[in-house]
Chain A
Amino acid sequence: MLRLPVAERPAWRQLADDYGFVFHTIDGAPYWDESACYQFSLAQVEDHLEAPTAALHQLYLQAVDWLLAEPQWLRRLAIDEALWPALRRSWAAREPSLYSRLDLAYDGRGPAKLLENNADTPTSLFETAFWQWLWLEQQVERGQLPRSADQFNSLQERLIARFAALAAGRPGQPCYFAAMAGVVEDWGTISYLAECAKGAGVDARLLELETLATNADWQLLTAEGRLIPWLFKLYPWEFWLQEEGAPALVNGHCQLLEPLWKWLLGNKGMLALLWHLFPNHPNLLPAYLADEPAAAGLTHWVRKPFYSREGANVVMGQGQQLLCAAAGPYGQQPHVVQAACPLPRFGDNYTLIGSWLVDDQPAGIGIREDNSPITRDSARFLPHIILG
């Protein structure tokens, strides 16, 4: 695993704008950064990233199965008892899921360690699936990279195949894609997903989440009153379930992506459950719920709220001392404490690997770099290649 400087494509910003990838630069700071790329060997990708990604996902599925039969752990993970029947129904039916992203700490030597699972609302999808691949093709064409350079990235093909499989059970039914109005990056993600769905022959339609309505039968409808049989929502379940129309989400009228059971995977309390069920697994870090005595025994630790995003409210410490903390709005939640696994440093950059799954299968990686050991929403996205 190397970090290599690469000459930027001369007009990539214009090209990005043309593609509608308008958040390549955020508040004047680069988000897409192609001044360098990461290089992996094929063995690193296959043995240290791809295989552990598949294995970790399977651990999560086993843990969900176990958890739903364990009222004590459901309470410890702060899952509202009123939701247990709906969660059990969703899991028993194995309601289909679309995608996930595991965040891994990996320095090229392995084993990769799981930091968290973005199983409900993962993003950085367009830049991973499409834009970094376009970068590779164009850099090969320009002679900046050898023709033998490859990429760990089958995300787009797998998304299209997944939509085709899901659509087979819903012939002719439109699939709606919802995100909060005006949130540019989220609309980028649902627009891209909708294009993947169209590529699979699905009648894909976008809508603003705030316009969703319900009726007396607790069916989900568009503002015009059209029934929504099938909906992808880029909106976290823990918020969604608190809102007025929530009964329409859990009664099975509408097929939701991600399904309700997937919400459990994103709860960071699951990191403690995984360690409880699979202690010393090579790709897991010791983790405990904050109220477990063992949590206080970790010398270098990271404390995370069950549902924070983009590194918000994450605190790193050593013994009693706080080393680093990220601000955020999620501090009032229960926390999990995980053994610290420092991200590898390349120069001044701390590097995190986001490893994607579609339909339970590993599908590629995206790389984020931050100047802080906690990866935040300001972290830059860099492309990667496989060579050798």
Chain B
Amino acid sequence: MSSINRVGKAAPDSARKQGQMNFAGMAKVVGLGVFFVLALRGCKEEVGLYPDAGECQRDNPECGASCEAAYQRALARVDADAPRYASATECQDDFGGECQPLASGQFRPPLAGFMLPRGLDCDDFDWIGSSRLLYVGQRQATPHYQRWVTREGANIASSDARSARVDAALLRDNQAPASQLRPGGFGRSMRAFAQRSSS
């Protein structure tokens, strides 16, 4: 639609219309479809592999704060993210190293680092949100030995590597683990009451 310019009398402190508001782009705003645009990624995506915020920042010099945020996020999420074992022995059988006890009485491997997609705008909240936690096996003769792996056991690269190409599907971890997601139950009480929420 063509733009519509407002013609109201200009009076800076008044609540009346103040001219020249551009309505272009405001057309058809009440379309009722849900217009999510899902980011389509290629099959493989280049990622950075970082043991800490400092290495992330060396690779992404403009992104110091975002690297720190991604690292802090990893530290905060490791208890929820990491693979869980019923005993320390089982955990060490898979990962070796210093397995950590969880409040549940289970054990998990230590956090080894995190991965982030490369070449994206690091000011984008989604960039940090798409980081994945990584673990490194310390036990010889296991598939994880000196490899970066995700909690699902996806084998990314040698733990010396600082970048890799991975299936884009692996970069979907602002998905909470499905087992921890639960419906909010929102909308039920109003539904039982009335046709609409507004007033």
- Residues of chain A at the chain B interface (Cβ within 8 Å): 18-22, 45-46, 50, 118, 120-123, 126, 130, 133-134, 137, 140, 147, 150-154, 156-157, 170-174, 179-181, 183-189, 191-192, 194-195, 198-199, 205-210, 212-217, 219-221, 224-227, 229, 234-236, 239-240, 242-245, 248, 266, 309-310, 312, 329-330, 361-364, 377, 386
B178-199 vs A, Cβ < 8 Å mask (1 yes, 0 no):
1011111111111101111111
How many residue pairs bridge A and B at CB < 8 Å? Answer: 202
B70 CB, min distance to chain A CBs, angstroms: 13
Check B141 for interface membership: any CB of A closer than 8 A. no
Q: Which residue of A lies closest to B76 (CB)?
A: A217
Q: Which residue of A lies closest to B30 (CB)?
A: A20
Q: Which residue of A lies closest to B73 (CB)?
A: A227
* B contact residues around A179 at 8 Å (CB): 197
Docked-complex contact B196 and A20, CB < 8 angstroms: no
Which of B26, B34, B127, B187 has the most chain A CB atoms closer than 10 A to its own CB? B187
Check B8 for interface membership: any CB of A closer than 8 A. yes
Q: A152-B15, A180-B191, A183-B195 are in contact. Are A215 and B30 (CB under 8 A)?
A: no
Which residue in B18, B26, B181, B186 is a CB contact (below 8 Å) of A130?
B26
Docked-complex contact A187 and B32, CB < 8 angstroms: yes
Q: How far is the CA of A174 from the CA of B14 in the complex (A)?
A: 32
* B contact residues around A183 at 8 Å (CB): 195-197
Q: How far is the CA of A219 from the CA of B191 in the complex (A)?
A: 23
* A contact residues around B197 at 8 Å (CB): 121, 179-180, 183, 186, 234-236, 239, 309
B28-43 vs A, Cβ < 8 Å mask (1 yes, 0 no):
1111101110000000
Docked-complex contact A215 and B176, CB < 8 angstroms: yes
Which residue in B6, B29, B36, B181 is a CB contact (below 8 Å) of A191?
B29
Q: Which residue of A lies closest to B197 (CB)?
A: A235
* B contact residues around A151 at 8 Å (CB): 8, 16-17
> Please, could you name 28 A-B residue pairs with CB atoms under 8 Å apart, sorted by A?
A19-B27, A20-B29, A121-B197, A121-B198, A130-B26, A150-B8, A151-B17, A154-B18, A172-B126, A174-B125, A174-B126, A180-B187, A180-B190, A184-B32, A186-B197, A189-B198, A215-B182, A217-B80, A225-B174, A225-B176, A225-B181, A234-B198, A235-B187, A245-B184, A245-B186, A309-B197, A329-B194, A361-B15
Q: Which residue of B lies closest to A307 (CB)?
A: B199
A137 CB, min distance to chain B CBs, angstroms: 6
B92-105 vs A, Cβ < 8 Å mask (1 yes, 0 no):
00000000000000
Check B86 for interface membership: any CB of A closer than 8 A. no
Which residue in B16, B17, B21, B180 is a CB contact (below 8 Å) of A215?
B180
Q: A123-B199, A206-B35, A235-B186 are in contact. Are A225 and B30 (CB under 8 A)?
A: no
